[in-house]
């Protein structure tokens, strides 16, 4: 297994594995079509976003990925740098699960975030991912309220 940070040259495979993940997580059919806008914005995110994506490759093909987006907010007493991050897009192809691949990818991103002075990492976890995140030190939080501006 090869582990590395994704580059712009990986964008087509990153889009492909992201769509695979979304079909899997949302129980969509293998032929579900995502909108051109969604795919274009996903491509832009991977190419231009303030993020890092770690990947695992087997025989040159991406079999797992994890992304972290870096966010700067106004500093607070508990987060004096204002540097925060959001972990997402953590996915391992079904044939490669339960081998520690996602753990290695996420740990790599946590280490990078620490080096960048990030004081908090958030994530949205599926029930199946919670045990992994808990063993890495994440905890459930009721501190956040959300407003959906697309409704």
Q: How confident is the model at residue 65 (pLDDT cuts 50, 70, 90)?
A: very high
pLDDT-wise least confident of 8-12, 61-65, 84-88, 140-144: 140-144
The pLDDT of residue 77 is 86
The pLDDT of residue 145 is 65
Domain count, the chain: 1
pLDDT reading at 46 higher than 70: yes
SS3 of the chain: CEEEECCHHHHHHHHHHHHHHHHHHCCCCCCCCCCHHHHHHHHHHHHHCCEEEEEEEECCEEEEEEEEEEEECCCCCCCCCCEEEEEEEEEECHHHCCCCHHHHHHHHHHHHHHHCCCCEEEECCCCCCHHHHHHCCCCCCCCCCCCCCCC
Is residue 104 included in any domain, yes or no? yes
Query: What is the share, in percent, of the chain residues with pLDDT greater than 70?
Result: 93
pLDDT reading at 4 higher than 80: yes
Q: The domain spanning residue 22 has which CATH number? A: 3.40.630.30
List, for residues 107-138, the tens digit of each pLDDT value: 999 999 999 999 889 988 888 888 898 999 88
Domain that holds residue 27: 2-135
Is residue 143 included in any domain, yes or no? no
Query: pTM of the prediction?
Result: 0.88
Q: What is the mean pLDDT of residues 100-113?
A: 96
């Amino acid at each position: 297994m090869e582990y590395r940070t994704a580059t712009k040259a990986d964008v087509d495979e990153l889009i492909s594995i992201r769509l695979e993940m979304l079909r899997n997580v949302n129980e969509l059919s293998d032929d579900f079509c995502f909108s051109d806008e969604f795919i274009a914005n996903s491509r832009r995110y991977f190419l231009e976003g303030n993020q890092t994506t770690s990947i695992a490759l087997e025989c040159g093909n991406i079999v797992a990925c994890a992304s972290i987006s870096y966010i700067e907010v106004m500093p607070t007493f508990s987060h004096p740098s204002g540097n925060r991050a959001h972990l997402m897009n953590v996915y391992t192809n079904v044939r490669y699960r339960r081998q520690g691949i996602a753990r290695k990818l996420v740990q790599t991103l946590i280490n990078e975030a620490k080096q960048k002075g990030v004081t908090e990492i958030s994530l949205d976890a599926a029930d199946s991912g919670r045990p992994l995140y808990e063993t890495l030190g994440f905890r459930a939080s009721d501190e956040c309220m959300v407003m959906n501006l697309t409704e």
